[in-house]
Amino acid sequence: MSEAAATVLSLPAPPWTQPQRTQLQAALAAGRLPHALLIHEVPGSGGEWLAFWAAQLVLCQNRAQAPCGVCSACRRVQAAQHPDLWCVRPEEEGRQIRIEQVRELASELALTSHGGGYAVAILSPADALNRFAANALLKTLEEPPRQRLLVLVATQPSRLPPTIRSRCQRLPVRAPTRAEALAWLTQARGAALPWGAALDELGEAPFLAVAADPQELATVGEEARRTLEALAGGNGDPVASAERWARAAVPLRLRCFENWLTERIRAQERQGTFMTEMRAGPYLSEPAPVLNIRELFGLLDEVRELRATLDVPLNRGVALEDLFRRLAP
């Protein structure tokens, strides 16, 4: 199991996931906990944290106060060393979860758990399951052994086959407000860091911000913004920019791209309302926005798609260049 898993639960509890935690505790107490959860998170909002918390909930030895956070089971989950917890991730960032990984998981889950109770599997990000892996998972979802909890964490559940989605209970995790994100980051890493600037570039994605150097984040984000503004203004070089972006910090830059597009969509929505009111005057000419809202949404989908399927470096460059060309007026 990866080291990253050990750290996510050691971060402070994100207060905006409290309703989901209350819901899961109530379901467990009532014996109605589903065997599969699909945590649909806004990127960076803590979906994986909630997945590990759910693992603690069912594996905790203090039934009355689960998850207590202090029993040996809870501590093992936090350290990602619990014998009845499996975490399945792509073997490399941006790659897919392969069928062999799912088959191995299925055979582990078919065995009796070490502790005689629950066994938990976390698949994160579940939207990285390729089609074959998703099919293999379906068998386990259809006939789950008793006391098994599968937790899928996804930012784009629409990438999963409907057959998978329909067999999981959906648990949405919203983005925190800016104030919630800042308070949480300060609690996690201290106040003396430029969190505001980092969130300006990333959007309200504190779990992405907390893992990065906020100074570097602000620098990369500012550079990403300058590049995008130049391209959208017709002053950029799509080829050179794509080459530069493809070399380093690709997921971070794509996240900045998403945030930049989202800001433009919001701005156009506001402007659209304004223009409708103003158009009553017959002599006002309508300024032509460089990209209409449909094109912005189209680009946003493709940037998310690219982030989810980061492949060989050559393809990244080509895909980025294509997106950059479409920004130009």
Sign of the Cα torsion 66, 71, 77, 79 reads positive
With beta carbons less than 8 A apart as the criterion, state whether 152 and 179 touch.
no
**Least CB distance from residue 3 to Zn ion, whole Å?**
22
Applying CB under 5 A, does 164 fall inside the site for Zn ion?
no
Q: Give the tokens for residue 134.
A: 């998703």
Q: Which stretch binds Zn ion (CB under 5 A): 58-66, 145-153, 230-238, 255-263?
A: 58-66
For Zn ion, what does the binding mask look like between residues 65 and 104, x meaning CB under 5 A? ---x--x--x------------------------------
Distances in Å between the Cα of 293 and the Cα atoms of 55, 287, 298, 300 are 41, 14, 9, 10
**Least CB distance from residue 16 to Zn ion, whole Å?**
23
Distances in Å between the Cα of 16 and the Cα atoms of 126, 197, 207 are 22, 21, 13
**Least CB distance from residue 86 to Zn ion, whole Å?**
19
Torsion angles phi and psi, residue 20, rounded to 5: -65, -40
**Least CB distance from residue 75 to Zn ion, whole Å?**
8
Q: Which is nearer to Zn ion, 49 or 257 (CB)?
A: 49
- Compute the distance between CA of residue 152 and CA of residue 135 in angstroms, rounded to an integer: 14
Q: Which of 227, 229, 252, 262 is nearest to 242 (CA)?
A: 227
Q: Which is nearer to Zn ion, 62 or 107 (CB)?
A: 62
Q: Give the tokens for residue 279.
A: 């158009």
Q: Which is nearer to Zn ion, 11 or 224 (CB)?
A: 11
Side-chain half-sphere CA neighbours of 37 within 13 A = 31
Q: Which stretch binds Zn ion (CB under 5 A): 56-64, 217-225, 243-251, 301-309?
A: 56-64
Q: For Zn ion, which residue of 5, 38, 60, 308 counts as binding (CB under 5 A)?
A: 60
**Least CB distance from residue 63 to Zn ion, whole Å?**
9
Q: Which is nearer to Zn ion, 71 or 275 (CB)?
A: 71
Residues that bind Zn ion in the complex, under the rule CB under 5 A:
60, 62, 68, 71, 74
